[in-house]
Amino acid sequence: MIRNADEGDFPALLEMAQRFVTKAYARINVPFDRESCEALLWALLENEDGILLTNDDNTAMFGALVHGWHFNMNIKTATELFWWAETGCTDARAMKQCGEVMAQCLGAETINMANQEHMRSPALARLYRMDGYVPSENIFIKEFG
């Protein structure tokens, strides 16, 4: 069952965060930092515009923040910060959809979802399109040094 995460879920969420960050960002020298990730979980949990979801067996997590567009603060959007599911989890898509509903309830008129180029990007792009998303922009990362 998909539900709001609470402090008791943090140990499992942090374990998933370590796997996610390692797969998504360690390749560009951004390693997992437990304190930073725990602070992020607390920020989402305590912010009235934060969304932090998990399921009863802690095999998936979804985090997003509702905020004004930086170029028009009168229009709210939601930005997905992470969406991760362990192998074999069957709640991932429903969890994303639950996050979308929550974002709408918090006043978001749009939602932005990431697509990591090196993490099954074509399959995820198809899923997003099936769920009504349209491509908007690509983000490129350059390492300095």
Do the domain assignments include residue 121?
yes
Do the domain assignments include residue 51?
yes
Do the domain assignments include residue 116?
yes
For the stretch 55-106, pLDDT in tens is 999 999 999 999 999 999 999 999 999 999 999 999 999 999 999 999 999 9
pLDDT score, position 9: 98
Mean of per-residue pLDDT scores for the chain: 95
Q: What is the per-residue burial (b if ≥16 Cβ within 10 Å, else e) of 109-138?
A: eebebebeeeeeeeebeebbeeeebeeeee
Compute CA distances 87 → 19, 42, 58, 109, 142, whole Å.
12, 26, 12, 31, 30
User: CATH code at 91?
Assistant: 3.40.630.30
Number of domains in the chain: 1
pLDDT score, position 139: 85
pLDDT score, position 2: 98
Do the domain assignments include residue 21?
yes
Do the domain assignments include residue 137?
no
Do the domain assignments include residue 9?
yes
**Position 119 confidence tier, pLDDT thresholds 50, 70, 90:** confident
Do the domain assignments include residue 64?
yes
Q: Kindly state the average pLDDT of the residues 28-37.
A: 96
Domain of residue 7 covers 2-130
